Amino acid sequence: MSSIPPGATIGILGGGQLGRMMAMAARSLGYRVQVMDPDPSCPARFVVDACFEGSWKDAKAAANLARGSDVVTLEIEQIAIESLEAASRFAPVRPGVAMMRIIQDRILQKNWLKDHAIPVGRYEPVRSSHELQSAIDRLGPQCFIKSARGGYDGRSQAKHGFEGGAANEDIAAIWKLLGERDCIVEKAVSLEQEISVMVARSPSGEIKCFPSARNHHENQILVWSVIPSSIPSLLEEQAHSLAIRIAEALGLEGVLAVEMFVTIDGELLVNELAPRPHNSYHASERACDTSQFEQAVRAVCNLPLGDVSLVRPAAIANLLGDLWLEREPRFDAALAVPGVHLHLYEKHMPRKGRKMGHLSAVGNTPDEAVARVLEASGRL
């Protein structure tokens, strides 16, 4: 299969921070880039040749993007299947429509993983408030309830059976909160830690796995992440082999982040799949020989994949809109910490919980990289 050479045009469905950073990597390789996004002032707008305005359901806008593109990829999994199909009439869409259909729906995704003998935690799909109650009776009391479709950063999710303000004990209220739509109920896993593995596969079948990242979430939002994760080498091998099996069985063309739980019994369970660059691999820009963004470009253009070896440990900390609510963050103080860099996404409206940017830091060890990035974010 031939490659799409530098100089060609890449269309990206979605112009958020992931689209922006992918576009920057693509530009650096000499590609032209255009994006489609509902917001004409999206983060990618300053770094691309053209920005098409259109919602994820706007098949016409997706087709227009594809018409002027040599290949189309995406930065968000919620692009409507009709839009992906419309785009695929004009340019190859990578990752492909069949795989996106499975990933977009948490129920289909979990069933697919289970059918392919990939270890996942206990879960049940539910279609009514009554089914929700019986699933919690069987799996609970501690459960995560997630809408089958939509949702990121813990949105469209509820917790049951936990102490404290975030949890909700009223089943009818949870059902209502999640929009009275199909959901998945997951038994809460006792976590030792969370990791992710980014795997890239090109249309020719070349496949490469980045070293695993260790991820720290609070209130279901990623706070910091570090590469490498420092898990034992046997577990690392198992994590890679799971990611490779998934990528091959899905016929991945592009990159795929496999989020995993390491249970307190040392078992690996797959949490969810993200068929695009992932927040937990932003540190790959500094930790690895090839960044996740460049790798995504190489994969969708069917170029040889880049070397993913670890160059040095690096960590990131997310900057949420909360930081802006009272005053501008003190970037100068943060940047005075050795090894620290600032990455802002040029979003104009800071909102609570909105990802506005991140800090990255290198260190001689993963712990040092995390300590530096947290020190810097503490100074903001």
Ligand X SMILES: Nc1ncnc2c1ncn2[C@@H]1O[C@H](COP(=O)(O)OP(=O)(O)OP(=O)(O)O)[C@@H](O)[C@H]1O
Task: Name which of 4 and 120 has its Cβ closer to ligand X.
Answer: 120
- Cα–Cα distance measured from residue 133 to residue 140, given in angstroms and rounded to the nearest whole number: 10
Taking CB atoms within 8 Å and a gap of at least 24, the contacts of 166-171 are 166/219, 171/129, 171/132, 171/133, 171/136
Task: Name which of 20 and 372 has its Cβ closer to ligand X.
Answer: 20
Task: Name which of 75 and 259 has its Cβ closer to ligand X.
Answer: 259
**Stretch 215-254: interaction string toward ligand X, x if CB under 6 A:** --x--x-x--------------------------------
Question: Which residue stretches of the chain are H helix?
Answer: 17-28, 59-67, 81-88, 97-104, 106-115, 129-139, 171-177, 233-250, 284-287, 292-300, 331-335, 366-379
What is the smallest separation between the CB atom of 206 and ligand X, expressed in angstroms? 26
Which residues are CB-neighbours of 375 under 8 A, at least 6 positions away? 337
Q: Which stretch binds ligand X (CB under 6 A): 78-86, 132-140, 152-160, 300-308?
A: 152-160
186 binds, among Mg ion, ligand X, none (CB under 5 to 8 A by kind): ligand X
Task: Name which of 188 and 235 has its Cβ closer to ligand X.
Answer: 188
154 binds, among ligand X, Mg ion, none (CB under 5 to 8 A by kind): ligand X
Q: Which of 287, 291, 238 is nearest to 267 (CA)?
A: 238
Task: Name which of 144 and 324 has its Cβ closer to ligand X.
Answer: 144
151 binds, among Mg ion, ligand X, none (CB under 5 to 8 A by kind): ligand X
- Cα–Cα distance measured from residue 305 to residue 5, given in angstroms and rounded to the nearest whole number: 13
Q: Which stretch binds ligand X (CB under 6 A): 23-31, 149-157, 292-300, 336-344?
A: 149-157
- Cα–Cα distance measured from residue 158 to residue 154, given in angstroms and rounded to the nearest whole number: 8
What sign results for the dihedral spanned by CA atoms 143, 149, 153, 155? negative
What is the smallest separation between the CB atom of 19 and ligand X, expressed in angstroms? 16
What is the smallest separation between the CB atom of 372 and Mg ion, expressed in angstroms? 25
Q: Is 144 among the residues that bind ligand X (CB under 6 A)? A: yes
What is the smallest separation between the CB atom of 278 and ligand X, expressed in angstroms? 8
**Stretch 119-138: interaction string toward ligand X, x if CB under 6 A:** --x-----------------
Task: Name which of 186 and 294 has its Cβ closer to ligand X.
Answer: 186
**Stretch 267-306: interaction string toward ligand X, x if CB under 6 A:** ----xx----------------------------------
- Cα–Cα distance measured from residue 356 to residue 94, given in angstroms and rounded to the nearest whole number: 27
In total, the chain counts a number of residues equal to: 380
Token code pair at residue 210: 């980045």
Q: Using CB atoms within 10 A of its CB, is residue 38 exposed (0-12), middle (13-18) or buried (19+)?
A: middle
Task: Name which of 225 and 291 has its Cβ closer to Mg ion.
Answer: 225
**DSSP-derived 3-state class of residue 192:** strand
What number of other Cβ atoms are within 10 A of residue 351's Cβ? Answer: 12
Q: Is 153 among the residues that bind ligand X (CB under 6 A)? A: yes
**Stretch 75-114: interaction string toward ligand X, x if CB under 6 A:** ----------------------------------------
Identity at 358, one-letter amino acid code: H
What number of other Cβ atoms are within 10 A of residue 131's Cβ? Answer: 16
Identity at 43, one-letter amino acid code: P
Q: Is 151 among the residues that bind ligand X (CB under 6 A)? A: yes
Residue nearest to Mg ion (CB): 259
Binding residues for ligand X, rule: CB under 6 A, are 121, 144, 146, 151-154, 157, 186, 188-189, 191, 194, 217, 220, 222, 259, 271-272
